[in-house]
């Protein structure tokens, strides 16, 4: 196990005060903070090596190209890909999933085909498939979750059949925290029996759980750099080489080709055919630094740390808040990640979130880009606290103490009578 108190020293933003209180940052499922090492790597690139890649023989271009390619190699190793050329850099996981839908999907999904997904998907792994189905005359089939927020393999057995072309599924719910990897492995084998592909949303999984794409058995996996200590604007699509090689680019233009005449085009090798135009080289350098940082901590240790924080959160909620708070998702920390979505009974999620901000606690409120899941749960939204490597148990205590105060002021919060002075005791 790493020492989270030592880790915190690498994140200057955690020393900020919000409304007179030390920042408690619990919005990591939305984006993580960046350590000094990542910021320094990006700054070093722009200060000493900045040039366009694959476009020049001069020293700076050669250096930038090497740094950019090495970033692919480090990411490939991080997820145990067979080769770095299976790693395509995108803007984010949203673009990665759209890339699959509108390259592979537009060619291989036909009228009458079916696309299987789940009610717990983030919109990024739901809306592209709906749009594709509408354009191609296909049908989207949704697999439900249990009342406790778990995904059952048996539900996939009922709907995956010879008409299925795609199964799109998250590896971890951004609301419930449900980790589905064991189910997804079985689903991948089932889908392949019918000639379908499996597209996995790893945005909440890859940053928190040791990831082995070969073991998962999926065909595509997308994730974002900014959710794993890296910068915004850089994401990853991993795909099986044999599938990627069959595809034409999602976007075409500079660096996607080997040769162009007025009559024909020869597309570039992997992964460059999918990385059109000038890429986010600085973002790739930052992502490499983030991968190196997480590798030094050890992904098994990252998982253990978050599991312990969730276990401690449940314990403190039960001890101090009781029936005043409803928590969604599995109650077993072994099958959920570092995400705790909840509501305070009798208060809107937005009211709770704004009140927590008065205590310097940053959480997310709303439907978290997962509207159908919230409707399935029967709620209009939720408060989401999400953890990462720099969070500590004392911050859980602050969350619980603040919620206890908010609950004591429930009547005034319901009528809008509470302001910052009342919540903070000033």
Alpha-carbon gap, residue 123 to 96, rounded angstroms? 13
Dump strand ranges (E) for 65-156.
87-90, 114-118, 139-143
User: Cβ atoms within 10 A of the Cβ of 1, count?
Assistant: 11
Per the listing, tokens 């859980």 go with 396
For CA atoms 202, 206, 209, 210, the dihedral sign is positive
What SS3 state is found at 373? helix
Alpha-carbon gap, residue 282 to 230, rounded angstroms? 11
H/E run at residue 117: strand 114-118
For the chain, the 3-state helix, strand and coil shares in percent, each to the nearest 5, are: 45, 15, 35
Active site residue 369: yes
Where do the H-state alpha helices sit in 168-280? 181-193, 213-216, 241-244
Token pair for 71: 């970033």
Among 51, 152, 362, 369, which one carries the catalytic annotation?
A: 369
Closest CA to 176 of 222, 226, 121: 121
Q: How many CA atoms lie within 13 A of 423 on its CB side?
A: 27
By annotation, the residues acting in catalysis are 369
């Amino acid at each position: 196990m790493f020492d989270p108190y030592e880790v915190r020293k690498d994140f200057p933003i955690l020393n900020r005060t919000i409304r007179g209180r030390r920042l408690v940052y619990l919005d990591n499922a939305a984006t993580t903070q960046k350590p000094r090492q990542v910021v320094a790597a990006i700054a070093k690139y722009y200060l000493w090596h900045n040039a366009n890649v694959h476009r020049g023989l001069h020293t700076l271009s050669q250096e930038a190209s090497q740094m950019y390619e090495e970033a692919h190699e480090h990411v490939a190793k991080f997820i145990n890909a067979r080769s770095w050329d299976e790693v395509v850099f995108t803007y984010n996981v949203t673009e990665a999933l759209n890339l699959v839908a509108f390259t592979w999907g537009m060619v291989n999904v036909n009228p009458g085909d079916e696309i299987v997904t789940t009610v717990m998907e983030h919109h990024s792994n739901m809306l592209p498939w709906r749009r594709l189905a509408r354009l191609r005359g296909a049908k989207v089939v949704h697999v439900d979750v249990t009342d406790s927020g778990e995904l059952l393999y048996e539900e996939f057995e009922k709907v995956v059949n010879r008409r299925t072309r795609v199964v799109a599924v998250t590896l971890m719910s951004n609301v419930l925290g449900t980790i589905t990897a064991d189910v997804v492995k079985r689903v991948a084998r089932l889908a392949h029996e019918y000639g379908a592909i499996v597209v996995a949303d790893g945005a909440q999984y890859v940053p928190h759980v040791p990831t082995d794409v070969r073991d998962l058995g999926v065909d595509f996996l997308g994730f974002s750099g900014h959710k794993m200590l890296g910068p915004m604007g850089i994401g990853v699509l991993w795909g099986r080489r044999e599938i990627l090689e069959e595809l034409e680019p999602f976007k075409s233009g500079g660096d996607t080709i080997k040769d162009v005449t007025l009559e024909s085009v020869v597309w570039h090798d992997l992964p460059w055919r999918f990385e059109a135009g000038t890429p986010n080289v600085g973002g790739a350098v930052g992502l490499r630094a983030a991968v190196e940082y997480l590798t030094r901590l050890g992904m098994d240790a990252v998982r253990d740390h978050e599991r312990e924080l969730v276990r401690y959160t449940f314990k403190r909620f039960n001890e101090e808040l009781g029936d005043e708070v409803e928590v969604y998702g599995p109650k077993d920390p072994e099958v959920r990640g570092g995400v705790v979505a909840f509501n305070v009974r009798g208060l809107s999620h937005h009211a709770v979130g704004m009140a927590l901000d008065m205590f310097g606690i940053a959480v997310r409120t709303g439907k978290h880009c997962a509207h159908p899941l919230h409707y399935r749960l029967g709620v209009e939204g939720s408060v989401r606290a999400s953890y990462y490597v720099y969070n500590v148990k004392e911050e859980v205590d602050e969350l619980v103490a603040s919620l206890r105060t908010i609950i004591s002021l429930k009547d005034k919060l319901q009528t809008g009578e509470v302001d910052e002075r009342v919540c903070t005791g000033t």
